[in-house]
Structure 1
Amino acid sequence: YLFVIVSYLIGVFIFATIVGQVGNVINNKNASRQEFERLLDGAKLYMSTHNVPHDLQKRVQRWYDYVWSRLNGADINSLGLLPDKLKTELAIHVNLETLKKVTIFQECQPEFLHDLVLKMKAYIFTPGDLICRRGEVAREMFIVADGLVEIISESGTVLKQMGAGDFFGEIGILNLDGGINRRSADVRSLGYSELFVLSREDVLGALKDHPDAEVLLS
């Protein structure tokens, strides 16, 4: 009889522990959502105070909604608390495979790619945003992480669509001798898209530590 009671109490304790853990997960997610809502409310107040056109306000709100869906409920500030070493390891783990898909980097040494990964910056574009304009000076390249983009000719014809893993604008970083290259076409975001951007200055900075890679990029 005593064994039955003890077993029952242990079972109740384990169940309560599990329920408590589930409750913590829900509470953490709710707290993250509340923080997100706070940021969104701040943006709404700012736009209202400055009489921002309604259409632009809706675009901003849709951008916040898209960012939330991409984060999938994760804590939007958690990564900023990580020490530099962990942030470095995380960036390499998440983004290195994407960079390896870029043809011009496939023969480069891992150490050079690691340096480039740490220099990559992520940007989110809204539907219809022009990412590049024909004729502008090319100073960076882009890697599509999520969504679709369109390459558009001077006449307005869609020449090509690009998706996750595709890249464009590499002309902006391949001219390493200091010459000027210009974009040959417009690039527009089709829906929401997330792109990694790597500037010519970033590549040149990495090449100082990895001069052998310059031969592969020339």
Structure 2
Amino acid sequence: QYKQVEQYMSFHKLPADMRQRIHDYYEHRYQGKMFDEESILGELSEPLREEIINFNCRKLVASMPLFANADPNFVTSMLTKLKFEVFQPGDYIIREGTIGKKMYFIQHGVVSVLTKGNKETKLADGSYFGEICLLTRGRRTASVRADTYCRLYSLSVDNFNEVLEEYPMMRRAFETVALDRLDRIGEYRGESLLPYLLPWQP
């Protein structure tokens, strides 16, 4: 598979520094193993696929307080909809003001949450971000930049709403964190963002 990547880089005559970044990306994403995980999991039965996904994500679940005391069925529903992504140092994972379509869970790495006025907050293993705009259907309230190589799991807005519709109490857990983050951003900017949070619908 990587031979195709090399052919692509050669065909487009990509500069050496860009080729190195692409090489480093594949090294960190696949750690020397090249295979199509989605294709492999897609051929398995649903129970076996869920068991494997739960096993593969065990460190993420163990590091995340949100999952620690949650209904195991909720955790499984969430994990089966996550998409694995890798970001390199300096990459902007999300940008303030853009429409949010995904939220992210940090398996490993450090990111900086940046708001206007150069206020910066660090998040690391076991944290998540990007949920605010999925709850408000608004634009991103901050930018998030990778400080290290980051191994993340993303969740699309459609899958987010699908899971939380089935587990409404977990929606409240997300809303509690979102309200706190919105409040802190609002205090810093001298304005209140709380009214923009959508009311919970049972």
Q: CA shift at 1:161, angstroms?
A: 1.7
Q: Structure 1 residues 52, 120: closer, same or farther in 2, change over 3 A?
A: same
* Equivalent pair of 2:63/2:125 in contact (CA under 8 Å): no
Residue 26 of structure 2 corresponds to residue 64 of structure 1: yes
1:161 maps to: 122
Structure with greater helix share of residues: 1
* Equivalent pair of 2:59/2:107 in contact (CA under 8 Å): no
- Runs of 4 or more, structure 1, over 6 Å off, are none
| 3-state DSSP of counterpart to 1:191 | coil
For 1:60 and 1:148, how far apart are their aligned partners in 2?
A: 20
| 3-state DSSP of counterpart to 2:147 | strand
Q: Structure 1 residues 206, 47: closer, same or farther in 2, change over 3 A?
A: same
Q: Which has the larger radius of gyration?
A: 1
Tell me how large the CA RMSD over aligned residues is: 2.8
Residue 147 of structure 2 corresponds to residue 190 of structure 1: yes
Residue 152 of structure 1 is aligned with which of 114, 121, 146?
Answer: 114
Q: Structure 1 residues 67, 97: closer, same or farther in 2, change over 3 A?
A: closer
TM-score (norm 1): 0.66
* Equivalent pair of 1:150/1:187 in contact (CA under 8 Å): yes
TM-score (norm 2): 0.71
Residue 100 of structure 2 corresponds to residue 138 of structure 1: yes
Q: Structure 1 residues 201, 68: closer, same or farther in 2, change over 3 A?
A: closer
| 3-state DSSP of counterpart to 2:99 | coil
For 2:122 and 2:66, how far apart are their aligned partners in 1?
A: 20
Residue 115 of structure 1 is aligned with which of 46, 59, 77?
Answer: 77
Q: Structure 1 residues 61, 158: closer, same or farther in 2, change over 3 A?
A: farther
Q: Structure 1 residues 49, 79: closer, same or farther in 2, change over 3 A?
A: closer
Q: Which amino acid aligns with 2:82?
A: M
2:195 maps to: none
Q: Which amino acid aligns with 2:105?
A: I
* Equivalent pair of 2:83/2:154 in contact (CA under 8 Å): yes
For 2:34 and 2:18, how far apart are their aligned partners in 1?
A: 27
Q: CA shift at 1:54, angstroms?
A: 2.4
Q: CA shift at 1:100, angstroms?
A: 6.7
Residue 203 of structure 1 is aligned with which of 144, 155, 160?
Answer: 160
Q: CA shift at 1:99, angstroms?
A: 4.4
* Equivalent pair of 1:144/1:164 in contact (CA under 8 Å): yes
Unaligned 5+ residue runs, structure 1?
Answer: 1-38
Task: Describe the superposition over 1:107-140 as per-residue Cα deviations: whole angstroms up to 9, x where unpaired.
Answer: 6432122111100111001121110101112232
